[in-house]
């Protein structure tokens, strides 16, 4: 695979696993992060030590201007864009909706929905044939929450992921003739820090026994699906929402 893959929120969790695997498959990787500079630089160092190419770039992808700056850095420092993984996302603290602060709901929508839209728009401006690009692939990270609704936990987060599914279908149809495939991966429960950040550090242990497959996923198990959707092996797959959720 030639060209650059931008992975948003790649300093840890699913994004870091995708970045690592993409570098092994030959992409130059743009490792976006918000606050975890040391973790992002460590990941870049690991990729370079293994013979790959990577660059860590700090940007709050919820902010349109910072997304534009992120892509300008990528244009200047890395090979042409070949793919985007819209991974950065969060839920806010668990609550019923009537107890959730407006600011939390707004921030979740701004990152999960608008952030993905800003990044997709900037990527399409570079990859679409009508703009002189060479085509490419986008994978949006949705969630099983989009269809489960997350009652009693974070309904607003589930709604943000429902928007990601709609975005995926619309962008796929709008860009199929432009050489860009757009798909989503919808993970179930993955062993990352997102659950502790939502105020439920023991969530995976509690939920694992209720999962049909009996456990949470490791980030690499989600990354495998993302990498497949990005690859030429998925050349006829666009507009798909691939559930990787252990049967849930």
Q: Based on CB atoms, which residue is closest to ligand NAP, 28 or 158?
A: 158
Rg (CA), the chain: 17
Give the chain as a DSSP string. Answer: --SEEEESS-SSHHHHHHHHHHHHTT-EEEEEESS-HHHHHHHHHHHHHTT-EEEEEE--TTSHHHHHHHHHHHHHHSSPEEEEEE------S---GGGS-HHHHHHHIIIIIIIHHHHHHHHHHHH-GGGT---EEEEEE--THHHH--TTT-HHHHHHHHHHHHHHHHHHHHHGGGTEEEEEEEE-SBSSTHHHHTT-TTHHHHHGGGSTTSSPBPHHHHHHHHHHHHSGGGTT--S-EEEESTT-
Rounded CA-CA distance 221/160 in Å is 23
Taking the least distance from each CB to ligand NAP, the nearer of 119 and 128 is 119
Compare residues 4 and 143 and give the one whose CB is closer to ligand NAP.
Answer: 143
Minimum distance, C-beta of residue 107 to ligand NAP, in the bound complex (Å): 8
The catalytic position among 27, 33, 154, 157 is: 157
Q: How far is the CB of 129 from ligand NAP (least distance, A)?
A: 29
Is 27 an annotated catalytic residue?
A: no
Least separation, in Å, of the C-beta of 114 and ligand NAP? 10
State the number of CA atoms in the 13 A half-sphere of 119 facing the CB.
37
Q: Based on CB atoms, which residue is closest to ligand NAP, 10 or 128?
A: 10
State in angstroms the smallest separation of the CB of 247 from ligand NAP: 14
CB-nearer residue toward ligand NAP: 134 or 244: 244
Q: Which residues bind ligand NAP (CB under 6 A)?
A: 8-15, 32-36, 60-62, 87-90, 111, 141, 143, 187, 189-190, 192-194, 197
The structure tokens listed for 59 are: 């940007």
Provide the annotated active-site residues: 157
């Amino acid at each position: 695979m030639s060209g650059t893959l931008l992975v948003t929120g790649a300093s840890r969790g699913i994004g870091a696993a995708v970045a690592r695997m993409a570098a092994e498959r030959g992409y130059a990787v743009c490792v976006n992060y918000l606050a975890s500079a040391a973790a992002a630089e460590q990941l870049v160092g690991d990729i370079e030590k293994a013979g790959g190419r990577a660059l860590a770039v700090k940007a709050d992808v919820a902010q349109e201007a910072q997304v534009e700056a992120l892509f300008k850095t990528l244009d200047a420092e890395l090979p042409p864009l070949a793919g985007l993984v819209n991974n950065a996302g969060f839920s806010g603290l668990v609550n019923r909706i009537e107890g959730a602060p407006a600011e939390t709901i707004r921030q979740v929508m701004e990152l999960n929905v608008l952030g993905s839209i800003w990044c997709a728009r900037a990527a399409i401006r570079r990859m679409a044939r009508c703009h002189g690009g060479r085509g490419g692939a986008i994978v949006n990270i949705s969630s099983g929450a989009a269809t489960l609704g997350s009652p009693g936990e974070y309904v607003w987060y589930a709604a943000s992921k429902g928007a990601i599914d709609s975005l995926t279908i619309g962008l796929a149809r709008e860009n199929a003739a432009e050489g860009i495939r757009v798909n989503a991966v919808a993970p179930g429960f993955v062993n990352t820090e997102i659950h502790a950040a939502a105020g439920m550090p023991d969530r995976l242990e509690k939920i694992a026994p209720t999962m049909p497959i009996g456990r949470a996923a490791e980030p690499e198990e989600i990354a495998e699906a993302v990498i497949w959707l990005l690859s030429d092996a998925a050349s006829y797959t666009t507009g798909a929402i691939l559930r990787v959720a252990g049967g849930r």
